[in-house]
Structure 1
Amino acid sequence: MVPCSAYAVLAADAARAGPSTENVHDARVQSTIQSHVVRHFQAVAEAAARLPPAVARACKTGTDGDREELSTHFRNVVVAWAGVAYLRFGPMAGQARQDRMSLWPDRRGEVARELGQLLASGDPAKFEGGALAKQSPAVQGLPALELLLTDSAAPLGPTDASSLRCKLASAIAVNVHGIAGELLQGWTSDGGWQEKMLRAAPGKEPYESAQDAARALVMALYAGLKSVADDEVKPHLYTTSKSEGPYAKSNLAAEYYEAGVNALNHFYDAMALESSLAGDKDWVKNSAGIAWNIVKSSDGAGGRGSGVAKGDQPSVQKVFAAMTTLRKLVATELSVSAGVPLLGKTRKTK
């Protein structure tokens, strides 16, 4: 296998040779999948594998140490998930995996309501032995597990009062692990999405050309920027908003934002979109660099990002504007120069 860094060099070299050719698109797809997409789904699968045994230990002992360890493993899955949450096409689009893993934003309070109903039934047969997969996505994933882990009135442990909650927490952890594995296999297995994108050809579904495959990746970048801006940043523009950030009950909203933004920035770099720009487009690089620095200096809610000095954080308004700038640059400049324009007539992919 060619090292990931070599793919990035190949994409840049090919782009300089002629940005509209299929070899450029193919190199860009290879670079992005190998150096970013697969790596981030591997991180989710590895973190999720540690959840089931951590739940089992916390429920067996009920000690503060084991509960804290469980919280740490939960945090690791959440942060890893932020790194792939915007890759909503391919394996993520099948079998409602996105919502089953993390139903957020949850504007109607479905997670708390349906989790409460499931617990009130008192019937573990509704979620044990794989039965959880037949329930609503609201109770299958990380937000539901978060409610169980953060309920100080009913902490997980070896008591009769915690028995049903522990069984449900265990079922959710196993389900999360399973979904994470399905996503990774969906990308890397024979005939998986990685292969579909790398072997695009006329008459093949879902991509008839490397250009189609490259466009799907650029569209994911655009959609990811929009999602973070609209769902995580925009609510903080309004003082009357009661919207909580993702995983706020676990105090993970800032980490989730930071992980998501860093992943999007890495995704952007992996595609080497700037390498396709003409010589008179340095302003695009400069504008994008400034915008990335702004969004990475924030916690998404008006606070400062990691490593940012107190008082140096940008305002929420400035962060939202920077994300808007990045989206516009991707749509009107970078995608066009890369030969995969997002505006106008494009082939729809699954």
Structure 2
Amino acid sequence: MNADLKNTFSTIQKKIQDIPLNELLLSPDEESLLRSQKMDQLIQQETAYMVESLGQRIRDEYYSWGPLCCLMEDESISEILVNGPDNIWFEQAGTLHQHQDTFLSDISFRNFLERISQAAKCFVTVEHPSADSSFGDFRLSLIGAELTQSHPHLSLRRHPKNPWTFEKLKENSWCRESDIELFKKLIHERKNFLVIGATGSGKTSVLNSLLNLMNPNERVVVIEDTAEIALPNSASMKLLTREDPQGILPGIDQTQLVKRSLRLRPDRLVMGEVRGAEAKDFLMALATGHAGSFGTLHAQDAAQALIRLEMLIQMGAPQWSLTAIRRLIQLSLDCILIAGREPSGQRIFKGAYRLCSLEDHGFLVEPLDLTEGRTLPPY
């Protein structure tokens, strides 16, 4: 099928090249040179006798998202990765699959990138060869050819329309009823904690599920880079970082947002991902009266998470001693929840750990008591 599509597309392209330039020009109120009346007529003529699905596929190549249209419409697909015009992958049920469809030419691939960049207001240049933005139900990340040394790379990560709940996660075998009772207890007792895990382990889904356990009159201030977390109620609000690739507007990072959030009367603070110097200000806020706050951190296990947290705090306070940093962690953090991912792609809850004490050699961490005998490794 792809060969027939490419042949038809090639035929249309050759006929477009034969159209005089003055007949391709548009009236001032039209938006794109790709939507000239002459081109529309030509494409319509060439696809009129094709099977409707194939004709639509050709039109999608010119006017929409080409081979990605069906992937974007399928809500079971969580991520789309485009490594080039003929190298497209998607994640479904935690497993990567190669898409059987491709872009029909390098030119249409470049035109697609231009269209989606315009739609998402996400542009890459030689000076700024990568950019992130939101695009519909997706978080979009675009990397230019200057960094990939081949084709530009595009990734689209889907935001679920209906935020996850622990009941949904239990139905997907992520956790058990006893685990849900633990999560409810952590929220009710206003414990401070981090949800950790590797990339793609479902940390954001866990955060959304935790927010669904909130009381309706609690004000939560959410801090994140891109909008992925659903607010639990109308009393809550979100603060987003800002990065201007053109360098015209000053950047606003998570450290600034944490400081700003403390003036907004939060009952709880939630940070989409602790990834830099903001770790110091976030934990300082947790240690000085904002109990019941939480966030995510990239780490494989509890021991690795604590080491990484020490390093991030040091970025924000390089003059602090390791003893002072560990003391801050002890005062501000109660426990760590671990989201994992099996080789099969199945996401699972791997357990919860409590910070017991701070010893000369470091933290003493022990598993939280879970029913039904889940065995957790000690640290």
Q: TM-score, normalised by structure 1?
A: 0.27
Q: Higher helix share goes to which structure?
A: 1
Which protein has the larger Cα radius of gyration, Structure 1 or Structure 2? 2
Considering Cα pairs closer than 8 Å and 6+ residues apart, tell me whether 1 or 2 has the greater RCO. 1
Q: TM-score, normalised by structure 2?
A: 0.25
Q: Higher strand share goes to which structure?
A: 2
